Structure 1
Amino acid sequence: MSSNNQSGVSSPFQLFDRIEWANLNGHFSYNLTNEDVENLHALNEPLTITEIEEIYFPLAHLLDILIQRAKDAHQVVNGFLNKHTQSLPFIIGIAGSVAVGKSTTAKVLQKVLSMLPGKPRVDLVTTDGFLYPNEVLITRNILNRKGFPESYDTKLLLNFLSAMKSGIGNFEVPVYSHLEYDIVQGHRQQVSKPDILIVEGINVLQVNSSKGNNVFVSDYFDYSIYVDAHENDIMEWYVKRFESLRATSFQNPESYFHRYANMNEQESVTMATSIWNEINRPNLHENILPTRYRADLILEKGSHHFVKQIKVRKI
């Protein structure tokens, strides 16, 4: 059952268990195939139609209510101000740790929201594209800090979000390659007047955007989601993903991590654990986890990678 009180302390969130949350979905239904599901989940992240129906259908229903409310408010306020500006995209931020499953959450949400009545255009942008190129990180001696706040071109990210909320028609954002572990020179993702924009990345709820700048990435969000799990589970998922990549993508000579391709399983586990402890764990505790309760909604996963409960900020 839902709870407005956690550990005896008043909370700004309402808590829903999985069954209660699934029952909130009133009338939305979508025709998803097994092929759709297969195309949506990432490596080592199980996804089922049941998970989408019980978690993402109600979430899409909630977001649709908020989107319609935002449209109505925009129209009323414009009338009051005697302005006739166009409707602007509803921007959703998705945050969480490395390996927690943000990309799968973002892709599933993009798919389900695009099937809402009216068939809105839903674009998905990841903040990986706003990382500085490796040559810049090397020059600044922070290549081993990739993923930390200072490794992002926050000014460019803020300019992009400002453009979206200013009704600018087209904006090109850089493209990041996980194979090359770098920004792909000459490649751009075109974002053109989406109805809904999903921005996914570990840094989207952080407040330390850049020195002397009091504007934060999250200032542009209409709704924010944090994907959460127990740290031990996230680390286990990260290690398993690293091992799977070692046996697949890392075998490609073009891969930045090809040097790990000939490791045995134990060497791979040791290396992945070391990377987690030296880079990802400090970043989680210093910069990501502190933003969790800034979100409007928290999806809490169990050890099986499926959502076990949902926290929704009270309105």
Structure 2
Amino acid sequence: MDSGSDLSRYTRFSRPEWKELRDSAPLTLKEEDLASLQGLNESLSPEEVTDVYLPLSRLLNLRVAATQALRGTTDAFLGKETSGAPYVIGVAGSVAVGKSTTARILRALLSRWPDHREVGLVTTDGFLLPNHELEARGLMNRKGFPQSYDLRRLIRLVADVKAGHPEVWAPVYSHLAYDVVPGQFQTVTRPDILIVEGLNVLQTGNGRRGDRMPLFVSDFFDFSIYVDADEAHIERWFLKRFLKLRDTVFQDEASYFHRYARLSAEEAEAVARGIWRDINGVNLRENILPTRERANLILNKGEDHRVVEVELRKL
């Protein structure tokens, strides 16, 4: 364990040091469960869950209990019934870094702790502006950038969940159609914990100069996680994923990217490198990576997608 300099806001843990913090938390996921949770280019081993995510789920379980106790104390002081507001966790990081897998693993593990069985998961993809609106604004090549989201709608959803509304509806996104699905919604029903996963969840603006939005979605987080890796590794993972999609999802004629299905491997790689160079890499450097230091915890990955270091923000 390395506290770094006196000015560092994080305590750094090597993987072996972090693994020791698991204590006696049991692994309740089977190998078939892991297969359904991992991303397209990730090989999620039981060791990764045991070494990295079980200690993290234990930490979160302790923090959820502490937050609930604090809320109970405050409600007692105010002379009202305990509110039971959900504990909200944000998961941020680049395209292709594995944040969606992290969110799914945490949901599966946290739902197995006895004190919070109901764990919801919402991704910010559904809050992207519809393609027709992005095209009208000239933003199709900036999809995933802060200005391409309906951030006010996202903030309203998280605020309503936090306020204990019995039912809240999140829009649904289709990766096949590469667009928000009109008229389809995901229902969020008073979860004990809500995980909000996406590129933009730790950002503090909508990308427009002079933004005066008074609230940000991260204002409602009780805890936040940033999944990180060297950009060269993330770019390589993105290229590998694009090539795999070319052979699978892109083959479907209903896919927005069906036009890439017949590209050769060399042509597909050139297209993917261009997308990374002009869009995803720019978004990472300009908008996503600058939010890294706002997270409560950072998972640092090596070139094989395995977490090699964990940074925990000091209290």
In structure 1, C-alpha distance between the alignment counterparts of 2:309 and 2:253, rounded to whole Å: 42
1:9 Cα deviation from its structure 2 partner? 6.4
Residue 204 and residue 219 in structure 1: after superposition, are their counterparts in 2 closer, same or farther (change >3 A)? same
Q: Aligned match of 1:98 in 95, 98, 105?
A: 95
Whether 2:311 is the aligned partner of 1:314: answer no
After TM superposition, list the pairs within 5 Å mapping 1:202-217 onto structure 2: 202-209=199-206, 211-217=211-217
**Which secondary structure state, in structure 2, belongs to the residue aligned with residue 234 of structure 1?**
helix
- 8 Å CA contact 1:252, 1:258 repeated in 2: yes
**Which secondary structure state, in structure 1, belongs to the residue aligned with residue 81 of structure 2?**
coil
**Which secondary structure state, in structure 2, belongs to the residue aligned with residue 54 of structure 1?**
helix
**1:24-51, CA deviations, whole angstroms, 9 ceiling, x for partnerless residues?**
1112103321110100101011100110
**Counterpart in the other structure of 1:110:** 107
**Counterpart in the other structure of 1:24:** 21
- 8 Å CA contact 1:91, 1:198 repeated in 2: yes
Dislocated runs of 4+, deviation >4 Å: none
In structure 1, C-alpha distance between the alignment counterparts of 2:300 and 2:49, rounded to whole Å: 15
**Counterpart in the other structure of 1:49:** 46
- 8 Å CA contact 1:297, 1:312 repeated in 2: yes
**Counterpart in the other structure of 1:234:** 234
Amino acid at match of 1:59: L
In structure 2, C-alpha distance between the alignment counterparts of 1:85 and 1:216, rounded to whole Å: 25
In structure 2, C-alpha distance between the alignment counterparts of 1:37 and 1:159, rounded to whole Å: 33
**Counterpart in the other structure of 1:253:** 253
Whether 2:146 is the aligned partner of 1:156: answer no
In structure 2, C-alpha distance between the alignment counterparts of 1:172 and 1:164, rounded to whole Å: 10
In structure 1, C-alpha distance between the alignment counterparts of 2:178 and 2:44, rounded to whole Å: 26
Give ranges in structure 2 of 5+ residues lacking alignment: none
In structure 1, C-alpha distance between the alignment counterparts of 2:179 and 2:279, rounded to whole Å: 17
**1:34-70, CA deviations, whole angstroms, 9 ceiling, x for partnerless residues?**
1101001010111001100110100000001100000
**Counterpart in the other structure of 1:268:** 268
In structure 1, C-alpha distance between the alignment counterparts of 2:26 and 2:115, rounded to whole Å: 14
**Counterpart in the other structure of 1:4:** 3
Q: Report which stretch shifted further, 305-314 or 82-91.
A: 82-91
Q: Report which stretch shifted further, 156-165 or 112-121.
A: 112-121
TM (normalized to structure 1)? 0.97
In structure 2, C-alpha distance between the alignment counterparts of 1:249 and 1:9, rounded to whole Å: 49
After TM superposition, list the pairs within 5 Å mapping 1:69-88 onto structure 2: 69-88=66-85
Determine what percentage of the aligned residue pairs are the same residue.
47
**Counterpart in the other structure of 1:281:** 281
- 8 Å CA contact 2:116, 2:192 repeated in 1: no
Give ranges in structure 1 of 5+ residues lacking alignment: none
Amino acid at match of 2:111: S
TM (normalized to structure 2)? 0.97
Q: Report which stretch shifted further, 83-92 or 208-217.
A: 208-217
1:251 Cα deviation from its structure 2 partner? 0.3
- 8 Å CA contact 2:28, 2:109 repeated in 1: no
**Counterpart in the other structure of 1:290:** 290
- 8 Å CA contact 1:4, 1:10 repeated in 2: no
1:186 Cα deviation from its structure 2 partner? 1.7
In structure 2, C-alpha distance between the alignment counterparts of 1:129 and 1:275, rounded to whole Å: 21
1:82 Cα deviation from its structure 2 partner? 1.4
Residue 148 and residue 134 in structure 1: after superposition, are their counterparts in 2 closer, same or farther (change >3 A)? same
**Which secondary structure state, in structure 1, belongs to the residue aligned with residue 21 of structure 2?**
coil
**Counterpart in the other structure of 2:169:** 172
**Which secondary structure state, in structure 2, belongs to the residue aligned with residue 208 of structure 1?**
coil
1:124 Cα deviation from its structure 2 partner? 0.4
**Counterpart in the other structure of 2:303:** 303
**Which secondary structure state, in structure 2, belongs to the residue aligned with residue 65 of structure 1?**
helix
Whether 2:120 is the aligned partner of 1:123: answer yes
Instruction: Give the paired residue count.
Output: 312
**Which secondary structure state, in structure 2, belongs to the residue aligned with residue 240 of structure 1?**
helix
Amino acid at match of 2:272: A
Q: Aligned match of 2:58 in 54, 57, 61?
A: 61
